[in-house]
């Protein structure tokens, strides 16, 4: 299937649709640092891009590549001021994990997909905690990490509902995917 015979606008449209998942991850990173001015929110702020990573790999693994996860992770670390490279490592690991479990989760009822994500969130935040503790050379408080995992897990449906319209506007995946 080639793009011969398509107008530039059609090409742009196709390109935009293919890039939408990656762009949505960048938007989630920025939403994650919005100053909401809620007391105590900062300590438990959910890892919003992780939801996007899970959602897109589950629904359109052909549109999210490992380099994209790496770049989104770098962007997250640069913006939040966390140690550089940690989020990239976490997103790549989670991306690989979800990709390997995709067959099990695809087409399951929403609640199963959600609880799958809750487990993934626990793994991701645990990994993050472990790496940052190692980098700083001291054991970080565990409680904020637990809250972060819980809040991230709980935020899944909200983000998924926002990503759903994006998924619906997309062209269907190639048959091999």
Partner 1 sequence: MRQQARSVARIVALRAIAQRFSLAVLLLASVGVMMIGKIDAVIVENLRSRVTDAVAPMLDAAARPVAAVNQVIADARAFLALREENARLAARVAELQHYEAVAHRLEAENLNLQALFNFHPEQTHAFITARVIADNSGAFVRSLAVNVGTRAGVGDGMAAVGGRGLVGRTVQTGERSARILLLTDLNARIPVLIERTRQRAVLAGDNTHQPSLAYLPPDSAPLAGDRIVTSGHGGLFPPGLPVGVVASIGDGLVRVEPFEDLSRLEHVRVLDFRAHTGGAAMRGIPGGGP
In the numeric block, which tokens belong to residue 127?
């990994």
Q: Which pair of structure tokens corresponds to residue 26?
A: 């960048």
Q: DSSP labels for 102-141?
A: HHHHTT--HHHHHHHHHHHHHHHHHHHHHHHHHHHTSPPP
Q: How far is the CB of 137 from partner 1 (least distance, A)?
A: 10
- Residues 123-162 vs partner 1: string with x where CB under 8 A? --x--xx-xx--xx---xx--xx-xx--------------
Cβ atoms 118, 160 nearer than 8 A: no
31 burial via Cβ count (<10 Å: 0-12, 13-18, 19+): middle
Q: Which residues contact 97 (CB under 8 A, 6 or more apart)?
A: 120, 123
Q: Which is nearer to partner 1, 79 or 122 (CB)?
A: 79
Q: Which stretch binds partner 1 (CB under 8 A): 6-14, 16-24, 80-88, 112-120?
A: 80-88
Is residue 176 within the footprint of partner 1 (CB under 8 A)? yes
Of residues 14-73, those binding partner 1 (CB under 8 A): 30, 33-45, 47, 65-67, 69-70, 73
Nearest-approach distance from CB 51 to partner 1, in angstroms: 15
Beta carbons within 8 Å of 148's beta carbon, 6+ residues apart:
43, 44, 45, 46, 47, 125
DSSP code, position 63: G
Give the residue with the Cβ less far from partner 1, 15 or 41.
Answer: 41
Query: Cα 121 from chain centroid?
Result: 10
Total residues at the site for partner 1 (CB under 8 A)? 52
Work out how close the CB of 177 gets to partner 1 at its nearest, in angstroms, rounded to a whole number.
Answer: 11
Residues in contact with partner 1 by the rule CB under 8 A: 30, 33-45, 47, 65-67, 69-70, 73-75, 78-86, 88-89, 92-93, 95-96, 125, 128-129, 131-132, 135-136, 140-141, 144-145, 147-148, 176
């Amino acid at each position: 299937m080639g793009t011969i015979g398509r107008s530039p606008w059609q090409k742009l449209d196709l390109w935009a649709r293919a890039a939408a998942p990656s762009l949505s991850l960048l938007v989630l990173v920025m939403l994650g640092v919005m100053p909401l001015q809620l007391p105590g929110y900062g300590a438990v702020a959910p890892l919003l891009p992780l939801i996007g990573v899970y959602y897109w790999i589950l629904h359109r693994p052909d549109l999210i590549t490992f380099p994209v996860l790496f770049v989104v992770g770098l962007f997250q670390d640069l913006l939040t001021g966390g140690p550089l490279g940690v989020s990239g490592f976490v997103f790549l690991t989670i991306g690989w994990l979800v990709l390997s479990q995709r067959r099990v989760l695809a087409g399951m009822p929403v609640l199963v997909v959600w609880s799958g994500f809750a487990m993934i969130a626990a793994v991701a935040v645990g990994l993050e905690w472990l790496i940052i503790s190692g980098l700083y050379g001291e054991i970080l408080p565990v409680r904020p990490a637990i809250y972060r995992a819980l809040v991230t897990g709980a935020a899944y449906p909200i983000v998924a509902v926002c990503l759903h319209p994006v998924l619906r506007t997309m062209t269907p995946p190639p048959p091999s995917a």
